Every structure is written in C-alpha cells, then in structure tokens.
Amino acid sequence: MQFETKFTIVVAEDLPMWQKLNVVSFLAGGVTKSEHVNTGKQYLDSEGNTYLPLCTQPIIVLKAPRNKLPTFIQRAKKDQTDVAIFIDDMFYTGFDEANRKTTELYTSEKLPLVGIAMCTDKKIVDKIFKGAKLHD
C-alpha cells in the first residue's frame, strides 16, 4: 500500500537503547494525535477479545547526531511543519506537566533535543530529515 505521508522519528544516536525506546514510544504517541495519522479498527482474536487499533502506516525510525537535531527543527519551522519533540530533561521529570515545563526553559535553538517526530507529506519529511540515517 502506498501512503502520501511519512511517519518518521529521529533519535539521537548516542542514547542508550532504553532511552531510545522511551523516546520513540513517547514521540509516536504524540504524532498519532496529528491530523495526518490514521488508526485502523480494533483487532479481534478468535475468541472475540478486542485489542486497541494501531497506526495504519509504517513508522520509520532514523538516527542522527544530537548536534544535527536543531537543524531538523529549524527546517520544520521554516516549512511550518508540526513536530513532536523529546528533550534530555524529560528523562528526569516523570510526568507530562513537568515535561512541558522543561521545554519552556529553552528557546527552540537551545532545546537539548534527543528526538523529533512528524507525519506529513513524504517529500517534506525527506527534506527536513536529510542527513539522518536509518536506525539499525
């Protein structure tokens, strides 16, 4: 199936694996609230048990050096593209309200970014995340 949009997450390549997984899961949750992301119907097993619906398109996970992440934010702002962010401080807060307060401490140029995600037109995603590599 072909999709007109691309759902992509970029994580800082130097993070420990547990932090990468944490960043990816939080960012995926944020982007699923975007108008560009569709979720399917509930899943059903042979006994009639239901399970939550999933995103209907693949999610691409990329990696990049931390110092490249602000460039991606600037490109997204220039294209007026909505993004989800995760900053280093969020590993130490423990809840959503505190996470939001940490981002308010920084200008967009100074955010200690460790992850960025978006879902929008494929060409825009490719342009914004140019330089990131497929995560292995």
pLDDT for position 32: 87
pLDDT reading at 7 higher than 90: yes
User: What's the number of domains the chain is made of?
Assistant: 1
Q: What is the mean pLDDT of residues 1-8?
A: 89
pLDDT classification of 39: cutoffs 50, 70, 90: confident
- In DSSP terms, 113 is beta-bridged to 87
Q: Give me the CATH number covering residue 89.
A: 3.40.1490.10
- In DSSP terms, 134 is beta-bridged to 62
pLDDT for position 36: 84
Q: What is the pLDDT of residues 109-129, one digit of tens each?
A: 899 999 999 999 999 999 999
pLDDT classification of 38: cutoffs 50, 70, 90: confident
Structure tokens at 134: 């497929």
Q: What is the pLDDT of residues 95-106, one digit of tens each?
A: 999 999 999 999
Domain encompassing residue 59:
5-134
pLDDT for position 6: 94
pLDDT for position 37: 86
Please enumerate in sequence order all residues whose Cβ is within 8 A of that of 39, keeping only pairs 6 or more positions apart, or say none. Answer: 32, 53, 54, 55, 56
Global pTM reads 0.92
Is residue 45 within 8 Å of residue 61, measured between CB atoms?
no
Structure tokens at 88: 């280093």
Q: Give the whole-angstrom CA distance, residue 71 versus residue 67.
A: 8
Q: What is the pLDDT of residues 46-70, one digit of tens each?
A: 999 999 999 889 999 999 999 999 9
